[in-house]
Every structure is written in structure tokens, then in C-alpha cells.
Amino acid sequence: MARELVQTHAAVQEDKKSLFREEKPSIGKCPRCGSPVHEGKKSYYCSNRECAFVMWKNDRFFEERKTAFSPKIAAALLKSGKANVKKLYSPKTGKTYDGTVVLADTGGKYVNYRIEVRKN
Ligand SMILES: [Zn+2]
């Protein structure tokens, strides 16, 4: 039992070393601090531990519009602060429309978004 624990511990140390060396792919730069933003299971998060920037994939904003918060959208938001998204669902009309999702980050705990719709 004791030996097994020691071995497991040693293995974890090895893992840490390789994790440290490995470069995770980033999807863009953090709008707050400029550090790389990585994709996690549930969110897109800033790699800087002291930075609280995170965009949740299940954000209500996207859920209400029945839109998947894809890495493509996240990358566009990080790059230009905007992402063109098709077939956004409108609970008001029950229809879908094309619009631009705008990153409206106020530096708070949660990142905000809003929609810009091009009017003809
Ligand atoms: Zn950051």
C-alpha cells in the first residue's frame, strides 16, 4: 500500500513536468490582460491565474438564443470583439435572425454580451 502511494506520487510529478512544457493551443488573446485564452470543457478562460476573464459556454445569453458558443465565435470575439452569428433565436418572435454578437466586457466577474442587428 505504502509503496503504491509513493509510485503514484512520482507519476504525478512526471505529469506535472510534461504539462508544464506542453504548449496548449490558445484560441485568442485575453481582452483584459493579453494572455492566451484556452478552451476548457465548460468555458474559454484566460491562462493568467490572476486574471478572472472567462467566457462560459453555457452562458444564458447564448442559451436563450439557442446558439452554441463555438470556439469559432469565441475566437472572433477575442480577436475583434465581435462575431457574426447566424440563426440567433428570438424568444420574442419565435424566429431566427442573423446578427453580430458583441463582447461587452465591463471587467466584472461575468462577461456580458449584446447583439447588434444590421437594419436595412
Ligand atoms: Zn486575462
pLDDT in tens, 93-115: 999 999 999 999 999 888 999 99
Share of the chain above pLDDT 70, in %: 79
- CA–centroid distance, 55 to ligand 1, in Å, is 11
71 CA distance to ligand 1 centroid (A)? Answer: 17
Q: What is the pTM of this model?
A: 0.77
Arithmetic mean of pLDDT over the chain: 87
Task: Tell me the CA–centroid distance for residue 88 and ligand 1, in Å.
Answer: 28
C-alpha 53: how far from its chain's center? 9
- Between the CA of 56 and the centroid of ligand 1 the distance, in Å, is 14
From the CA of 45, how far away is ligand 1's center (Å)?
Answer: 8
Q: What is the CB-side half-sphere exposure of residue 24 using CA atoms within 13 A?
A: 15
Spacing, Cα 102 to ligand 1 middle (Å): 18
pLDDT score for 24: 73
From the CA of 29, how far away is ligand 1's center (Å)? 8
In tens, the pLDDT along 50-74 reads 999 999 999 999 999 999 999 999 9
Element (H, E) at 4: helix 2-21
Nearest CA to 116 among 76, 85, 72?
85
